[in-house]
């Protein structure tokens, strides 16, 4: 697993797991436990169907016509039509929402990760007055219900002229990712051996150079995890743009969806196309980076 410090557990696949399944469990098992094994299989694969079916229904509905959907709820897209996507993309404004989501999410992740790397480096590699307080201050953010500050956030952005603005949203989003990122990155920076830094200093490298050219490249896997972990909830977030963005040209996908539903109440097939458009990027991301995402999810173990 790529999170050795913040996941205080051995890698699942190599360590205990392989010890746990010696051949003994295969051949010499009594009939009762073989039946139990079969029942477990049925349960697991049965639930896999439950987990997948709704997503397949979503894709299938997006490829059928409105009339077909109303006539045969259980029908399949035997003659798939892509018209729903075309219309949702242009008439339904999903092109705008998609662009906004990409801009806002990527901007937030870059800004949030950027400032977190700097702060985490300071917290991990230097000791200074107020170090403990500062660490605790960042750490406290892990459990703060930040949505409850929405009214003051609104007035704060208003006074900065950032209401109805993607920049304003990016600032709030980037800030919301700071506690988790600082937490994970600090753990990683702490792990790096001191000798590296000493050697670099002997060779005459300055503090900034050590940071940028030696330390940061070494925590690249952690950076990936942290970035992914900001990306997912921010891409999916609905509450902040609902309140902070009033202009539909600047809606992100989740708010755009509610807007679409309110406007085209009966366009079920198109709505499904919109749902797929919203979901696809994260599903692709998840399938590409399953390992990092799983590692990040289980990083909560050490909190």
Partner 1 sequence: MVQARQRRLTAGSRGAFVGRPGKPGRSRRPGHPARPGRLGTPRRRLLLALLLPGLTLYTLFIVYPLVSALQYSLFRWSGTRQSGFAGLANFGDLFTRYPLSEQVWRALEHNVLFFVGTMLVQNTAGLTFAVLLHRSRRGKRFLQTVFTLPHMVSPIVVGYLWSAMLNPQFGVVNATFRAVGLDALAQPWRGDPNLALPVAICVNAWQWIGFPMLLFGAALAGIPEEYHEAARCDGASAWHTFRRVTLPLLTPAIGIVSVLTFVGNFNVLDLIYSLEGSQGNPAGATDVLGLLFYRTAYQNPDANAIGQSSALAVCMFVLIFGTALAASRVFRRMEDRLK
Binding to partner 1, residues 226-265 (CB under 8 A) = 232, 235-239, 242-243, 253-254, 257-258, 261
**Cα–Cα nearest to 13, from 4, 24, 1, 2:** 1
For residue 275, state whether it binds partner 1 (rule: CB under 8 A). yes
Per-position x/- string for 65-104, each x denoting binding to partner 1 as judged by CB under 8 A, each - no binding: ----xx--xx------------------------------
Query: For residues 104 and 202, what is the distance between their CA atoms, to the nearest angstrom?
Result: 42
Q: How far apart are CA 136 and CA 297, in angstroms?
A: 22
Residues 156-195 that bind partner 1 (CB under 8 A): 156, 171-172, 174-176, 178-179, 182, 187, 190-194
- Residue 150 within binding range of partner 1, rule CB under 8 A: yes
Q: Smallest gap, in angstroms, from Cβ of residue 82 to partner 1?
A: 19
38 touches partner 1 by CB under 8 A: no
Task: Identify the burial level of 122 via C-beta atoms within 10 angstroms of its C-beta, where 0-12 means exposed, 13-18 middle and 19 or more buried.
Answer: middle
Nearer to partner 1, 109 or 153 (CB): 153
- State the Cα–Cα distance between residues 281 and 206, nearest whole angstrom: 40
- Structural contact between residues 262 and 238, judged by C-beta atoms closer than 8 angstroms: no
Among 34, 47, 213, 246, interactor with partner 1 by CB under 8 A: 47
CB 164 → partner 1: shortest distance, Å?
Answer: 15
223 or 275: CB nearest partner 1? 275
Segment contacting partner 1 (CB under 8 A): 84-92, 113-121, 214-222? 113-121
Q: Which of 23, 28, 128, 217 binds partner 1 (CB under 8 A)?
A: 128
Sorted by sequence, the CB contacts under 8 Å of residue 91 that are 6+ apart come out as: none
Nearest Cα neighbor of 174 from 204, 197, 146 is 146
* CB closer to partner 1, 2 vs 298: 298
Interatomic CA distance for residues 253 and 239, integer angstroms: 12
* Residue positions counted in the chain: 303
| 50 is an interface residue for partner 1 by CB under 8 A | yes
Minimal distance, residue 173 CB to partner 1, in Å: 9
Q: Select from 30-38, 82-90, 91-99, 219-227 the region that touches partner 1 (CB under 8 A).
A: 30-38
Tell me the C-alpha distance between 242 and 253, whole Å: 11
Among 231, 117, 237, smallest CA distance to 183 is for 117
Q: Is 268 in the site for partner 1 (CB under 8 A)?
A: yes
Cα separation, 190 vs 120, whole angstroms: 9
Examine residue 58 and tell whether it contacts partner 1 (CB under 8 A).
Answer: yes
């Amino acid at each position: 697993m790529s999170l050795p410090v913040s996941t205080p557990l051995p890698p699942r696949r190599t360590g205990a797991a392989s010890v746990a399944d010696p051949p003994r469990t295969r051949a010499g098992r009594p009939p009762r436990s073989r039946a139990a094994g079969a029942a477990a299989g049925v349960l697991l694969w049965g639930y896999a169907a439950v987990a997948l079916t709704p997503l397949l229904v979503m894709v299938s509905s997006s490829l059928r016509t409105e009339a077909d959907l109303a006539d045969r709820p259980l029908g399949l897209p035997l003659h798939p039509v892509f018209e729903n996507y075309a219309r949702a993309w242009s008439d339904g404004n999903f092109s705008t929402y998609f662009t906004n989501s990409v801009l806002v999410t990527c901007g937030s992740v870059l800004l949030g990760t950027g400032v977190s790397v700097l702060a985490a480096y300071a917290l991990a590699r230097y000791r200074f007055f107020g170090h403990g307080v500062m660490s605790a201050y960042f750490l406290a953010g892990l459990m703060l219900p930040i949505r409850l500050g929405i009214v003051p956030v609104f007035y704060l952005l208003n006074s900065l002229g950032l209401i109805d603005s993607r920049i304003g949203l990016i600032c709030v989003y980037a800030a919301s990712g700071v506690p988790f990122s600082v937490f994970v990155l600090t753990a990683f920076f702490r792990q790096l051996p001191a000798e590296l830094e000493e050697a670099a200093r002997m060779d005459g490298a300055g503090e900034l150079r050590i940071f940028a050219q030696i330390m940061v490249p070494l925590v690249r896997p952690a950076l990936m995890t942290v970035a992914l972990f900001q990306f997912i909830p921010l891409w999916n977030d609905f509450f902040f743009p609902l309140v902070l963005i009033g202009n539909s040209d600047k809606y992100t996908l989740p708010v755009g969806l509610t807007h679409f539903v309110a406007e085209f109440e009966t366009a079920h097939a198109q709505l499904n196309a919109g749902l797929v458009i919203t979901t696809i990027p994260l599903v692709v991301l998840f399938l590409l980076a399953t390992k990092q995402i799983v590692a990040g999810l289980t990083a909560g173990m050490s909190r």
